[in-house]
Amino acid sequence: MRRRAFLLFMTLGIILLYFPGAYSAEFIEVYNPAGVRSDGVYVDKLLKRTMVELGKNRPPLAGNFPEGKVEKVLIQGDVLTEVNALFYKRGWTDGLPIVPPIPERVKDMLRGADLDPDFVVATLEPMNGQGTVEKIAVNAVMAGCRPEYMPILMAAVEAIANPAFDLRGIATTTSPDIPMLIVSGPVSRQLDINSGTNALGRGWKANATISRALHLIIQNIGGSWPDVTDMSTLGHPGDFSMMVAENEKANPWNPIHMDLGFPKSANVVTVLAAEGTHSVYGIGRNSEGFLKMIADYLAGMDRAYRSTLLLIIAQDTAQMLAKDGWTKEKISHFIKENARLPFFKYKERFLDPGMARIPGGVPNWILQTKDAQALIPSPMIDQLLILVSGGPGEKSLLVSGWVYGKVLSKEIRLPANWRELLEEGKHQ
């Protein structure tokens, strides 16, 4: 027995000598990103119950975690790999690698918000998780944000929590709608948010991580889980990230936040429930030709009503329009007046199949129309927003919004240490 024990001891010694990491293990602390309701119940527990009722088994470790802000996780290999695997199985990631929310990183992120960590910024649908400053910071760490991004993120959380935005509908619908962020004001320059070439594309940390963090917040704090509460038929690639800033230098008109009622000097984040993008090719067209093309596209849309449409005008086209005397008001009026269908087509497309989803029903004057050639507005638009963004060129975009919710904007409140955060950010 002693000889066998001795041999085992020697064998372990040799293994540890030549392979020192073979039996190493350590505990690390990580923050829990999941939402907690006002009654103290974790949204994951309710989601797990829903999964059982629906016969779903993904994510496999849903609701399987110790309750509390921080937990100790046993790591036997690479920290990044093991934390990612654990969080993925619990349903806490978007499928891409996340940054482990260890206490040091969360503490650093909280410097971007001069509020108590337990302060509830907003309660988020669909499962009513409380978006505390700390929970927002945890998800911001996971998304790869910097502390100076927190003011934009908190303002965006406030905006999507407004009932008029209809987060419950957006987070659970079968439609492909996702929250799109638009940032305007001096803060976009200060944080190097891309508003030029490839403004909606890859390559800019602020654009990618702030928007990604908002989606993780909706997923983890609000409880919008794919195939459990989020029932989008096809989904949307913007579910990972979709954010743009206004190109102030190239914009010949007032900034978009002034159109939304804010002073010119304000920093504002606007949230739009975006359905998708449609490229508008303006090369070779004059101002009126460009706007008629926009109107023709809108008249061919699949809905009779749109609460919001966003027209992102490329800078070269914006300069052409402004030079020809077109203001935002004139552009909006022209598009709405020219986006029309003959009544017989309108009737075939929307009335006969019962697809005219207009809140309150189809206006009586349309139903009472007798002239088959009478031109009917299609779609009816509550709000047409115009944004100048992107690099040189004449390729603009149309973004159609969620049919029921409204566009919401919030002024971004900067913390007292803002200048210090910006100075630190220059060296990162």
**Which residues does 401 contact at the CB level (< 8 Å), separation at least 6?**
177, 272, 273, 274, 275, 306, 307, 308, 309, 310, 407
Q: Which two tokens stand for residue 294?
A: 């926009």
pLDDT of residue 71: 97
Strand partners, 27: 74
The shares of helix, strand and coil residues in the chain, as percent rounded to the nearest 5, are 40, 20, 40
Q: What is the average per-residue pLDDT within 351-377?
A: 87
d(CA 274, CA 268): 18
Is beta strand 305-313 parallel, antiparallel or unpaired with respect to 395-401? antiparallel
Cis check for the bond before 359: say yes or no (omega within 30 of 0). no
pLDDT of residue 38: 98
Residue-level length of the chain:
428
Q: Of 5 and 225, which is predicted with more confidence?
A: 225
pLDDT of residue 3: 54
Has residue 55 got a pLDDT over 80?
Answer: yes
pLDDT of residue 15: 43
Mean pLDDT over each residue of the chain, to the nearest integer: 93
Q: E strands along 345-394, which residues?
A: 375-377, 380-388
Q: b vs e for 5-30, b when ≥16 Cβ sit within 10 Å of the residue's Cβ?
A: eeeeeeeeeeeeeeeeeeeeeeeeeb
Which of these ranges, 20-34, 51-65, 256-270, 362-376, has the smallest mean pLDDT? 20-34
pLDDT of residue 2: 54
pLDDT of residue 426: 82
Q: Of 15 and 291, which is predicted with more confidence?
A: 291
Cβ atoms of 199 and 189 within 8 Å: the answer is no
d(CA 108, CA 85): 24
Cβ atoms of 154 and 121 within 8 Å: the answer is yes
Q: Which two tokens stand for residue 424?
A: 């630190």
**Which residues does 358 contact at the CB level (< 8 Å), separation at least 6?**
304, 305, 380
pLDDT of residue 354: 83
For the stretch 63-76, pLDDT in tens is: 999 999 999 999 99
pLDDT of residue 362: 84
Has residue 20 got a pLDDT over 80?
Answer: no
pLDDT of residue 303: 86
Share of the chain above pLDDT 90, in %: 86
C-alpha 89: how far from its chain's center? Answer: 23
Residue 299 burial (CB count, 10 A): 18
Has residue 344 got a pLDDT over 50?
Answer: yes
- In this prediction, residue 157 has a pLDDT band, given cuts at 50, 70 and 90, of very high
Has residue 10 got a pLDDT over 80?
Answer: no
- In this prediction, residue 17 has a pLDDT band, given cuts at 50, 70 and 90, of very low
Give 204's Cβ-side CA count (13 Å radius).
23
Has residue 301 got a pLDDT over 60?
Answer: yes
CA–CA distances in Å: residue 82 to residues 56, 77, 154, 335: 24, 7, 29, 53
Cβ atoms of 137 and 143 within 8 Å: the answer is no
Has residue 99 got a pLDDT over 60?
Answer: yes
Give residue limits of the domains in the chain. Answer: 28-339+379-414
Which of these ranges, 6-10, 47-51, 198-202, 237-241, has the smallest mean pLDDT? 6-10
C-alpha 241: how far from its chain's center? Answer: 6
pLDDT of residue 22: 47
d(CA 48, CA 64): 9
pLDDT of residue 186: 97
pLDDT of residue 388: 98
Has residue 355 got a pLDDT over 90?
Answer: no
pLDDT of residue 18: 47
pLDDT of residue 360: 66
Has residue 12 got a pLDDT over 50?
Answer: no
- Which contacts (CB < 8 Å, 24+ apart) does range 42-51 have? 42/67, 43/127, 43/128, 43/129, 43/221, 43/222, 43/223, 44/90, 44/91, 44/223, 46/127, 46/223, 47/91, 47/127, 47/223, 47/225, 47/228, 47/229, 50/228, 50/229, 51/228
Has residue 1 got a pLDDT over 70?
Answer: no
Q: Choose among 425, 412, 413: nearest CA to 109.
A: 425
